[in-house]
Amino acid sequence: MFRTDDAVSPVVGVMLMLAITVMIAAIVSAAAGGLSSTEKKAPSAILDISVFASKEYNGDELPSMTIRHISGNILQTKDLQLITYYRTPSGTLVKGSLNGQAAVKGNDSCSSDPGFRADKYAGVLFLNDENRFGTETIQDSGSGNANWFGNASASFHPGDLLVTTAQLCGGGSTSNPSMEYLFPGVVFPAEFPAGSVVTVKIIHIPSGQIIYDKDVVVV
C-alpha cells in the first residue's frame, strides 16, 4: 500500500489563514476599542439665548446678550467657544468669537455704581451669581476672575445666567464693551436694530461638537 500526504497541505493552509484572520480581527477590535475610549463626549444641555438691541440697565438703554442654562449637564466654560454671525443692514457679515478668559475695559461715561470705568476690566461674559462668586466681577486687570466665562471656576449650572457687561453699566453709559467684542465693527445702535438675526453657535472644544446652533432674533 502506498501512503500520500497530498491532502495535508490544503488543510494546513486553511488553518493558517483562519488563524491570521482571527489575529487581524483581534488587532482591529483592540485598536477600535482604544479609539472609542479616548474620544471625548460632548455634554448635553438646553440653553436659551436672548439678544437685545436695547435693554434698560441702571437708567440707560444698551445692547446686550444673556445665556440661560435651562437644564442638562454642568458646562465648564473653559471648554466652550461662543461664535456669533451677524449681517448688518448694509450687508456686511460680521463674525465674533469668544473662547478662554477674555476681558473688556469699561468707559468713563459709566458713572453709576459699581464703577466700570475705563481703567477697570470685566469678562466679556460673566456668571451673574453673587451668592456663588460675590460682587467682585470688576477687576483692576484683565488677568481674570472666578465668574468670568473661560475661567476654570466658572462652571455653568442649570439655572445660571451668563450676561454681558451692560449689567455693570448705566448712569450715562453709551456702549456695552462686551457687545462690541462679540460683534466687531458694528455701530450700535444704528447697525443693530430689533428684528435682525444673529446666528449663535456654542462648541464644546474637547469633543469638537456643537451643543448650540440657532438663529436668534434681536429684540
pLDDT, tens digit (0-9, with 9 covering 90-100), for 82-100: 999 999 999 999 999 999 9
Angle at the Cα of 206 (from 203 to 211), degrees rounded to 5? 30
152-186 in b/e burial notation, b at 16+ Cβ within 10 A? Answer: eebebeeebbbbbbbbbbbeebebbbbbbbbbeeb
Contacts of 146 (CB under 8 A, 6+ apart): 133, 153, 154
pLDDT tens figures, 120-142:
999 999 999 988 888 889 999 99
The predicted structure's pLDDT at residue 20: 74
Q: What pLDDT, in 10s, does the model give residues 31-90?
A: 555 545 456 799 999 999 999 999 988 788 899 999 999 999 999 999 999 999 999 999
The residue to which cell 464693551 is assigned: 177
For residue 101, count other CB atoms closer than 10 A to its CB: 19
The per-residue pLDDT for 198 is 98
Is residue 152 within 8 Å of 79, Cβ to Cβ? no
pTM reported for the whole predicted model:
0.80
Q: Residue 5 corresponds to which amino acid? A: D
Residue type, 131: N
- The whole-number pLDDT of residue 59 equals 80
Sorted by where each begins, the domain ranges of the chain are 1-39, 45-217
Q: For 173-186, write each residue's pLDDT tens digit.
A: 778 999 999 999 99
